[in-house]
């Protein structure tokens, strides 16, 4: 168990911060390191978290990473990092296919974890990892940044206000030309558009509509030369008559838009992957309201702060992304892949 789980009063009285370590040193690890450094310097977060350590299989790479961001500690193996008693939270920044194994390893070493999306490669792995987490009493939460951002609450408030009436349809897309990376194209790494970018449109839909029964899924994909999915189209038909559509690709760009259509109007979200603005229209297509989103450090700070506060409060999950929501999304992606006939070699 981490020294700080459920010990907010001690942390405050002794001026202790949640020490964050990064497991992995790839692209997303650099984004997190930048975030942690900015949080440490920001008045809102400076007393909450500290950038502490990084581990990579290559010790020289880890040392260079630590030097670049001013982390006090680096390790050339994950095992060494997990043996460090000063590590309170481990951010897992490796490919999807490794998340379950590494997450369990961290939990068994007594470390809280923040696991980069997609949480695991499939729902079975997610349930296995969460079972270990729940038995340990440690925090385990998925790092899908859009779940933690203030834009989510803005959208929730607009829908709850009734200004667009009853929501009947939702549409979201996210497409980036990122096929030149092994994590995107290698089946052994659970590559493909779905788990890397398609997870965002599906989470956008889920945040708007919540957990409601799905009657039918209609989906198709275009395979990449390695067999993983390159372009995805997914339509969800809900039991109450609501419908949602999602599109994702790793070969082209899109407007990244999120659209919520109601009986009295609609919402347009600019960039579901990091919302830049939210517009509300009535049925005459007149702009009713525009909502800016708060200024942010990088956007990743919200998930880190939620995780750190959950640790101090002794929680095992974050309210913004509870375990049930993580499993529901993983199960949905499994169902989509089943329709495509796409299984990863290790499944």
Measured CA to CA, the distance from residue 327 to residue 345 in angstroms comes to 21
What amino acid positions are annotated as catalytic residues?
A: 117
Q: CA 283 from chain center: how many Å?
A: 33
Report the DSSP beta bridge partners of residue 50. Answer: 19
Strands 229-238 vs 214-223: parallel, antiparallel or unpaired: antiparallel
In sequence order, the 6+-apart residues with CB closer than 8 A to the CB of 195 are 96, 118, 121, 333
Q: Would you call the peptide bond into 149 cis, given omega within 30 degrees of 0 as the criterion?
A: no
Q: Which long-range contacts (CB under 8 A, 24 or more apart) does 313-316 make?
A: 313/6, 313/8, 314/5, 314/6, 314/7, 315/139, 316/133, 316/134, 316/137, 316/138, 316/139, 316/140
Query: Smallest Cα–Cα separation from 268: which of 201, 172, 144?
Result: 172
DSSP assignment, residue 241?
S
8 A C-beta contact, residue 224 and residue 230? yes
Q: Secondary structure of the chain: what % helix, strand, coil (to 5)?
A: 40, 25, 35
Cβ atoms of 140 and 303 closer than 8 Å: no
């Amino acid at each position: 168990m981490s020294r700080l789980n459920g010990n907010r009063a001690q942390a405050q009285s002794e001026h202790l911060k949640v020490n964050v370590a990064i497991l992995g040193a790839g692209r997303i690890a650099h984004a997190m390191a930048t975030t942690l450094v900015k949080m440490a310097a920001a008045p809102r977060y400076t007393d909450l978290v500290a950038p502490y350590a990084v581990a990579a299989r290559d010790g020289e790479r880890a040392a260079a990473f630590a030097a670049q961001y001013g982390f006090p500690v680096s390790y050339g193996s994950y095992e060494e990092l997990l043996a460090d008693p000063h590590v309170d939270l481990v951010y897992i920044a490796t490919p999807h296919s490794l998340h379950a194994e590494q997450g369990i390893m961290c939990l068994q070493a007594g470390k809280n974890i923040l696991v980069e999306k997609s949480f695991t490669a499939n729902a079975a792995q997610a349930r296995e990892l969460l079972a270990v987490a729940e038995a340990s009493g440690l925090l385990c939460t998925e790092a899908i940044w859009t779940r933690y951002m203030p834009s989510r609450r803005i959208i929730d408030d607009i829908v709850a206000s009734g200004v667009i009436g009853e929501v009947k349809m939702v549409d979201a897309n996210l497409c980036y030309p990122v096929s030149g990376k092994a994590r995107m194209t290698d089946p052994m790494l659970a590559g493909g558009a779905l788990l890397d970018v398609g997870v965002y449109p599906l989470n956008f839909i889920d945040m708007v509509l919540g957990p409601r029964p799905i009657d039918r899924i209609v989906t198709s994909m275009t395979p990449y030369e390695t067999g993983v999915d390159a372009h995805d189209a997914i339509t969800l038909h809900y039991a109450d008559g609501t419908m949602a559509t999602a599109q994702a690709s790793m070969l082209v760009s899109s407007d990244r838009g999120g659209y919520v259509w109601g009986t009295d109007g609609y919402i347009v979200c600019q960039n579901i992957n990091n919302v830049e603005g939210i517009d509300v229209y009535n049925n005459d297509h007149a702009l009713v309201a525009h909502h800016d989103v708060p200024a942010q450090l990088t956007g990743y700070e919200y998930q880190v702060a939620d995780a750190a506060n959950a640790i101090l409060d002794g929680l095992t999950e974050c309210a913004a992304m509870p375990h049930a929501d993580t499993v529901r999304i993983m199960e949905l992606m499994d169902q989509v892949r089943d329709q495509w006939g796409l299984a990863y070699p290790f499944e």
